[in-house]
A and B are shown apart, each in its own frame.
Chain A
Amino acid sequence: MSESSLPVAARPAVAAPPAPSLWNAVARVFDLSLGQMIWSRRTIFMAVVLGAPIVLAIVVRIVDASGVTPLRVNGQRVGGTTIFGVLLWWLYLRFVVPVLGVFYGTALIADEVEDKTITYLFTRPVARRAVLIGKYLAYVVCTSLVVLPSIMIVFFLVVPLRDIGPSFLTLLTDLGLLAFGLAVYGALFALVGTVLKRPLVVGLVFAFGWEQVAMLMPGYLRQFTIVYYLQGLVPHAIPSDGITSLLASVFNDAPSAATCLFWLAFILIAALLIAARAIERREYVLGQ
């Protein structure tokens, strides 16, 4: 009599495959999530957001090539390097990075809850925190792979050829800074998405309400924002003269680079640890 013809209860028990280690599980979730993120509807939104600076850079290049000064401040001509700095600090750092952080970060867990698919992830033999970490890493890679090439294209469009070499170190700093910004915002909003019910609203209020207001308020309130520490790294990365001094003057009371790096790293690690702890303990009740 073959085993298959036996009643189920009589069949010998088959040993379940061993659960993968934490980092193996992270790698699997990362692999699955990266593709989902890149080809999600959010990518269209991200393409629009990141296409705007590229279109702007193309316009600047065409205007400049036609012999017309693309930008003037107080009647003074603003060069390509400075325009790149302005685009980077004001468009990318103040808008693109927080927006992507909010939309992607809050969705890491909240989307699975909303779509009622989180059950499928949690019933797998992997640690819950592996799901969070894998999705978070996929977010960092996905957004970095879209944002950083976009910056690179804008850089080559706007910065004059002769300034490309001298601007190399600044470019490296810029790319690192933006990648770090994406990671920190993503970690914070991943936490928000893990513990709160309406994470998107909360994220938008934080990024475009609280951070904007706090930065304008005198006193210590700005220390409770991420942008304060990100902008704190700006004066260390941009030239401090010429038109760019206008930018630098905005960041006059910036803390030291070490302080900024410390607090940004602290926010990133703390947010991820709290989110991992929360996801391990929380019972997600999926509504009808």
Chain B
Amino acid sequence: MSKRTRVFVLVASAVLVVGLGTAGVASYMGVDGLGLFAAGASDELAYVPAGTEVIGFADVRQVLDSELGTRLQSRLIPPSQETQDNVFTQTGIDIRKDVDSVVVASLRGEAAGEMPLMLARGEFDQPRIESLLVSRGGEVSHHQNIRIVTLNQPEVGIGFLEARLVAVGNPAAVRLAVDTKTAGTGSVKDDAELMRLVHRVDNGNTWTVARFDALQRRQQFPAQLAAQLPAITWFAASGQIGSGVSATLLAEAKDDQAAQNLREVIRGLLALARMQLGQQPDLASFVNSVELTGEGNTVSVAFSLPRETLDKLTALGAQRPAPPSGVSGRPLAPSNVRPRTIPSI
């Protein structure tokens, strides 16, 4: 075999081996295992205990700095945070200035409480936050050498986990997060099922993974709709917010048949939407951008909302008539409003 033939064989084989190797590693470890994406929430996940029902991530800095984020900032985060039920008001953290990214986890069991556990990464003025909380009756304590400040009313704790990382939430949840990290095991990183889905969606600047039954328990879906949906076990979503929004919704059904049924349901809804929006090209283009795929027991819906379509939707929202008011000028009580009916699927 001549030298140039040998070189050709080696180069062609190398392309094959490198390609297969890359795809194989991506299959085994997820795309982030290749280092193609930033670590994102990887470090924070070590604090989140296994058994978490819902987990989400937002790259706050990227979202707020994006074109869409800049335009919608005033709507996403009201300029006035001075409300008593705002956890950030209580802790003195300004989400627009201090926070770079946040992981939100809804825990199970005693540590769950009413508030999810939030792990915020950014620049925090610890002395100022502590003094603010203490001035409001907060108590400083240490747990596993981590400084935690706890407020009793409302019950909220803030733990200074690392130089740029704080945990905010139910005090029991904050302590559990510290314990989980210290133990080195028992975090969601050890939950293979959940992490498998996290790896599928963590390429966006916002993502969430949830056990579907947890969403149903929390009434995140209308009861009528949930009752008609096929058996779904997991729900995940990934979004990339820039000048517009592109998102992927992923559902894992109990079995292949349930997934097939869900795909049929979505196809029907898309067909219905296409029929309804035929006269509105902008919105029709959005519906046409929806990509329904799936394999086995998974169903995936991807779509993109470009800036123009978002503007159109915003304009349509503004044109919508105000809800009917009673004689006193106050909105009608819910019992007087005709309930929305969901068409039988």
Which residues of A are in contact with B by a Cβ distance under 8 Å? 31, 34-35, 38-39, 67, 69, 72, 75-79, 81-82, 141, 145-146, 148-149, 152-153, 155-156, 161-162, 164-169, 171-172, 175, 239-244
Interfacial chain A residues near B23, Cβ < 8 Å: 155, 164-165, 167-168, 171
Interfacial chain A residues near B295, Cβ < 8 Å: 166, 239-241
Number of contact residues on B: which range applies?
Answer: 35 or more
Interfacial chain A residues near B36, Cβ < 8 Å: 161
Known: A155-B19, A165-B29, A171-B20. 11 other contacts (CB 8 A): A34-B9, A76-B291, A76-B292, A77-B291, A145-B12, A145-B16, A152-B16, A152-B19, A168-B24, A175-B20, A244-B293
Contact of A149 among B1, B15, B263 (CB under 8 A): B15
Contact call B12/A146, Cβ cutoff below 8 A: yes
Smallest CB gap from A31: residue in B: B1
Contact call B8/A145, Cβ cutoff below 8 A: yes
Smallest CB gap from B27: residue in A: A168
Q: Bound complex: CA of A244 vs CA of B270, how far in Å?
A: 17
Smallest CB gap from A172: residue in B: B20
Smallest CB gap from B248: residue in A: A162
Contact call A34/B1, Cβ cutoff below 8 A: yes
Contact of A153 among B15, B199, B263 (CB under 8 A): B15
Contact call B20/A152, Cβ cutoff below 8 A: yes
* B302 within 8 Å of A (CB atoms): yes
* B164 within 8 Å of A (CB atoms): no
Contact call B31/A165, Cβ cutoff below 8 A: yes
* B108 within 8 Å of A (CB atoms): no
Contact call A77/B1, Cβ cutoff below 8 A: no
Interfacial chain A residues near B294, Cβ < 8 Å: 239, 241-242
Interfacial chain B residues near A148, Cβ < 8 Å: 12, 16
Of the candidates B13, B20, B31, B293, the one having the most CB atoms from chain A within 10 angstroms of its own CB is B293
- The main secondary structure of chain A at its interface with chain B is helix
Contact call B200/A81, Cβ cutoff below 8 A: no
Interfacial chain A residues near B2, Cβ < 8 Å: 35
Contact of A145 among B9, B26, B293 (CB under 8 A): B9
Smallest CB gap from A238: residue in B: B295
Q: Bound complex: CA of A8 vs CA of B28, how far in Å?
A: 72
* B228 within 8 Å of A (CB atoms): no
**22 contacting pairs across A/B (C-beta < 8 A):** A35-B2, A35-B5, A38-B5, A75-B288, A77-B289, A81-B293, A145-B8, A145-B12, A145-B16, A148-B12, A161-B31, A164-B22, A164-B26, A165-B29, A165-B199, A166-B295, A172-B20, A239-B293, A239-B294, A239-B295, A241-B294, A242-B294
Interfacial chain B residues near A82, Cβ < 8 Å: 293
Of the candidates B19, B30, B259, B306, the one having the most CB atoms from chain A within 10 angstroms of its own CB is B19
Interfacial chain B residues near A243, Cβ < 8 Å: 291, 293
Hey, what's the 0/1 contact readout for B26-48 against A, CB within 8 Å counting as 1?
Answer: 11111100001000000000000
Q: Bound complex: CA of A145 vs CA of B11, how far in Å?
A: 9
* B310 within 8 Å of A (CB atoms): no
* B274 within 8 Å of A (CB atoms): yes
Contact call A241/B290, Cβ cutoff below 8 A: no
- The main secondary structure of chain B at its interface with chain A is helix
Interfacial chain A residues near B15, Cβ < 8 Å: 149, 152-153
Smallest CB gap from B243: residue in A: A67
* B218 within 8 Å of A (CB atoms): no
Smallest CB gap from A165: residue in B: B26
Contact call B288/A72, Cβ cutoff below 8 A: yes
* B340 within 8 Å of A (CB atoms): no
Contact of A77 among B12, B13, B290 (CB under 8 A): B290
Q: Bound complex: CA of A34 vs CA of B19, how far in Å?
A: 23
Task: In the A-B complex, list the 6 residue pairs whose CB atoms are closest, starting with the nearest.
Answer: A168-B27, A152-B19, A165-B26, A242-B293, A149-B15, A145-B12
Interfacial chain A residues near B27, Cβ < 8 Å: 164-166, 168-169
* B203 within 8 Å of A (CB atoms): yes
Within 8 A of A (CB), among B167-213: 199-200, 203
Contact call B306/A67, Cβ cutoff below 8 A: yes
Hey, what's the 0/1 contact readout for B127-164 against A, CB within 8 Å counting as 1?
Answer: 00000000000000000000000000000000000000
Interfacial chain B residues near A161, Cβ < 8 Å: 31, 36, 203
Smallest CB gap from B293: residue in A: A242
Q: Bound complex: CA of A168 vs CA of B20, how far in Å?
A: 8
Contact call A156/B289, Cβ cutoff below 8 A: no
Contact call B293/A39, Cβ cutoff below 8 A: no
Q: Bound complex: CA of A164 vs CA of B27, how far in Å?
A: 7
Interfacial chain B residues near A69, Cβ < 8 Å: 289
Q: Bound complex: CA of A81 vs CA of B295, how far in Å?
A: 12
Least distance between A88 CB and chain B CB atoms (Å): 14
Q: Bound complex: CA of A56 vs CA of B203, how far in Å?
A: 26
Least distance between B13 CB and chain A CB atoms (Å): 7
Contact call B1/A35, Cβ cutoff below 8 A: yes
Least distance between B308 CB and chain A CB atoms (Å): 11
Contact call A149/B19, Cβ cutoff below 8 A: yes
Smallest CB gap from A146: residue in B: B12
* B81 within 8 Å of A (CB atoms): no
Q: Bound complex: CA of A35 vs CA of B8, how far in Å?
A: 10
Smallest CB gap from A244: residue in B: B293
Task: Indicate whether A39 sits within 8 Å of B24 (C-beta atoms), given known contacts A77-B288, A149-B15, A161-B31.
Answer: no
Least distance between B66 CB and chain A CB atoms (Å): 15
Q: Bound complex: CA of A200 vs CA of B19, how far in Å?
A: 34
Interfacial chain B residues near A239, Cβ < 8 Å: 293-295
Contact call A162/B203, Cβ cutoff below 8 A: yes
Least distance between A240 CB and chain B CB atoms (Å): 7
Q: Bound complex: CA of A242 vs CA of B26, how far in Å?
A: 23
